Structure 1
Amino acid sequence: MNLASPYRFDHRGRTAERDLERYVRDLIEAVLFTAPGERVMRPDFGSGVAQLVFAPNSPELAGATQMLVQGALNQFLGDWITVRDIRVEASDAVLSVKVAYSVIGSDQVQIADFVRGGGP
């Protein structure tokens, strides 16, 4: 069973579920935008990439961010996905991360875009 994230109830009053594709995408988003130390019982969980939104842009930062994302996804979701490619762009106060991946046991490549920042 793949639980919906955030946790909620469906129209029947039962725990809401997700299809595998959406569930894995939710897992990737959780890894990307959770800061290490944010989860009480898993202080090492997350990548902390959202904290880089306001860092000065440079090719070095982009490369380091890609490695940070790759490492976090492999560490926490290595049993779920194979990461094919990662693209990170920071523009003003907006951080965009594009992850190309396939679910373990499948050769079908999925692409997920995540955007954070931008202000109110």
Structure 2
Amino acid sequence: MTWFSFPYRTSAAGTTAEADRDQQIRDMIEQVLFTRRGERLNRPEFGAGLHEMVFSENTPEIAAAVQHMVQGALQQWLVEVIELRGVRVEAVDSQLRVTVVYSRLGDDELRRAVVEGAI
């Protein structure tokens, strides 16, 4: 079965871009993480709030706060898609690495999504 890409976009052929189920879920995770709160008109509470941390000092305390924000957002918005098994946030120099461990609902196979960015 083929799934739509998230966020919705068109392919080079002008049709709806498609993805396999694992890629679609990873795209959904990234969409939650990178959407600013208040960015969506009809869902202002959507997102993890990571952009609020961009100019924060990169410390273990900030990493713990980000871990809490990410875990809460994923549990709120993707509960019908994944079972969240863990979130690990590492602060290394000016980089923040977020590792999300999850399984698809109905499947016990553990998967990881790693997102990195400057803070």
Q: Tell me, yes or no, whether TM beats 0.5.
A: yes
Contact 1:88 1:97 in 2 (8 A): yes
Match of 2:53 in 1: 52
Deviation at 1:58, TM superposition (A): 3.2
CA distance in 1, matches of 2:81, 2:7: 19
For residue 6 of structure 2, give the secondary structure of its aligned residue in structure 1: coil
What TM-score do you get using the length of structure 1 for normalisation? 0.85
Deviation at 1:17, TM superposition (A): 1.3
Change (3 A) 1:11 1:61: closer
Deviation at 1:38, TM superposition (A): 1.1
Contact 2:7 2:28 in 1 (8 A): no
For residue 46 of structure 2, give the secondary structure of its aligned residue in structure 1: coil
Match of 1:10 in 2: 11
For residues 38-80 of structure 1, give each alpha carbon's deviation from its aligned partner in whole angstroms, at most 9, with x where no partner exists.
Answer: 1112100001123324312333322222111110000000111
Whether 2:94 is the aligned partner of 1:84: answer: no
For residues 80-101 of structure 1, give each alpha carbon's deviation from its aligned partner in whole angstroms, at most 9, with x where no partner exists.
Answer: 1111111112334322111110
Match of 2:66 in 1: 65
For residues 14-58 of structure 1, give each alpha carbon's deviation from its aligned partner in whole angstroms, at most 9, with x where no partner exists.
Answer: 211111100000000011111100111210000112332431233
Q: In structure 1, what residue type is equivalent to 2:108? A: D
Q: Matched residue pairs, number?
A: 118
Unaligned runs of 5+ in 1: none
Whether 2:118 is the aligned partner of 1:117: answer: yes
CA distance in 2, matches of 1:94, 1:101: 23
Percent sequence identity is 46
Deviation at 1:7, TM superposition (A): 2.9
For residue 54 of structure 1, give the secondary structure of its aligned residue in structure 2: coil
Runs of 4+ more than 6 Å apart:
none
CA distance in 2, matches of 1:14, 1:91: 40
Unaligned runs of 5+ in 2: none
Q: CA RMSD in A?
A: 1.9
